[in-house]
Structures are given as C-alpha cells and as structure tokens.
Structure 1
Amino acid sequence: MNATAGQAEVKSLADRFGVEPGMVVMEMGYDDDVDQDLRDVLIDRCGDLVDEETDEVVDVVLLWWRDDDGDLVETLIDALGPLADNGVVWLLTPKAGRPGHVEPSDINESAPTAGLQQTSTVNAGKDWTAARLVAPRAARSRR
C-alpha cells in the first residue's frame, strides 16, 4: 500500500470514530505501543488529546487496553466519569496474536458490568482493534 492510500485509510478511520473538529477527546492507557498514525489523525481532526486528569466533559474516550493492564471494569468506570451523556468510549486492544491481546469475551463481560454496551468493532490499524462502547439509552437518561 502506498503512503497516500495508507493516509486515506487512517483518515476514514477518524471518520468511523466519529471525531469532529471541536470535540474533546480524552486518551487513557497511552504507551509506546499505541498506533501513532491513528493518534496523529485524531489530533489533526480535534486538536490535542486531553489526559485522564482533565476537568473537562469529554465527547470521546480513547482507551488503549492490554491484557495485563489491570481491571478493565474499573478502568471503564473511570472513563465514564468525564464522559458526556452522548459520549463514546473507544476501547482499543491489540489484535489476536499481538502481545497484550484481550479476548473478546473479556470485553463482552466487562462492558455491561461497567454500565456500557458494545455497538461495533473496527480495525484500528495494523496492531489494534477498537470496540465502540456507549451507555445504554435508558442509563443515559438517568445520568
């Protein structure tokens, strides 16, 4: 694949993530293994990413998660704190066969326990898969 095609693929990924200019995107779980191309495209789209110490209400949480990162339920609950009522958590996990791979069943069990439901999964680069997690409509109306 040539560089232009690769850039177009990453840009369309930013579209699939639903990130628009002016949105506040919080990043959690950053480490040296994240997909830098994806981060760059999201930063180009919305500006700097904020970290979990932010006092802002955020539209999107970008959560990089690996199998040995601890308790996924607790981290998802932490991600909900600053999230807007209609916000989205993108849970990025290493693909199968990559170090830190998270079994889909772990996500399927953890998300509802944290008060989230998975709506879709997308290929988020060479090494990462992203699961879109949202609060169920009934829960959003109670928040």
Structure 2
Amino acid sequence: MSDAGAANTAAVEKMGFKDGDLIQELGYDDDVDDNLRDALEEVTGSDLLAEDDHEVVDGILLWWRDGEGDLVDELVDSLTTLDEGGVIWLMTPKSGRDGYVSPAEIQEAAPTAGLHVTSTEGASTDWTATRLVARRKN
C-alpha cells in the first residue's frame, strides 16, 4: 500500500466508518480527494451514495468550499437522509488552499443547523475533516 493509501486508510479509521455503513457524498467536484473516497468505499464495502439518493445513511461526506453558498442551509439539507446517531464529516480545503473555510465559520454555522462540532482531523494533503453530530435533545 502506498504512503498516501495508508494515510487515507488511517483517516477513514479515525472517521469511525465500518463495513456495512452507508455514506452519502455531497458537494462532489473535481478537486475532491479520490484516494480518501476509495478508502471509504473499501472500508464500508459499498459505493458512496450520490446527492440524489434518498436512502437513510449512517454518515454524510460533505465537501464544502468558501463561496459555495450558505453553509447553514447546506448542513440542514444534509440532515434529511442522516440516520439518528449518524455523523456529518464536513470536508473543507486546508488553510492556504483555494476555497479555505475558517474554523470560526464552521463553529458559527453548526449550532444554527442543530449540530455540534466534536473534532477536526487532517483527512488528506488538501482537506480537513470536521466531525459534526446532532445536538442532544434535552
């Protein structure tokens, strides 16, 4: 396995996905990390679901870049297919890359969308992964 492949497998393990999980991918474009996508498909044993799929999923992989619109709206929309207890991994370009999204913007958008930021990981050379989960109901 290449160093990049091993790094992507380690990133997927940190994301907590396992065999049998369904993941829906939103915001796909030609700049996404294909090696990370491949590693996710290998670990889960299934293809990533597209934006127009309406199955209930265990996780969302949301690629987001600055200037793409309203992050709160996108996060709220992504919740429609997410199973209770599921997780959203918000993938944003790392600092210094085109489309960089500041952590402050994510911290501001998440609670408005009913989500809580739990961790941030370097998912690949160009992308940061921020883990978002639904806030607990009181």
Within-5 A mapping of 1:1-143: 4-46=2-44, 47-138=46-137
Residues 77-109 of structure 1, C-alpha deviation per residue, up to 9 Å, x if partnerless?
A: 011011011000000000111000001111010
The Cα offsets for residues 7-60 of structure 1, whole Å up to 9 and x where unpaired, read as 222111111111111111000000000011100100112210111222210100
Q: Separation in 1 of the partners of 2:26 and 2:111?
A: 19
Q: Extract unaligned runs of 5+ from structure 1.
A: none
Q: Secondary structure at the match of 2:66?
A: coil
TM-score by length of 1: 0.92
The 3-state SS of whatever aligns with 2:105 is: helix
Give the total of aligned pairs: 137
Q: CA shift at 1:69, angstroms?
A: 0.8
CA RMSD of aligned residues (A): 1.1
Report the AA paired with residue 125 of structure 2.
K
How far the C-alpha of 1:61 sits from its partner, in A, is 0.2
Q: Which runs of 5+ in 2 are unaligned?
A: none
% identical aligned pairs: 50
Partners of 1:102 and 1:12 in 2: how far apart? 23
Task: Look up the equivalent residue of 2:113 and give its one-letter code.
Answer: A
Q: Give the aligned residue type for 2:130.
A: A
CA distance in 2, matches of 1:19, 1:87: 10
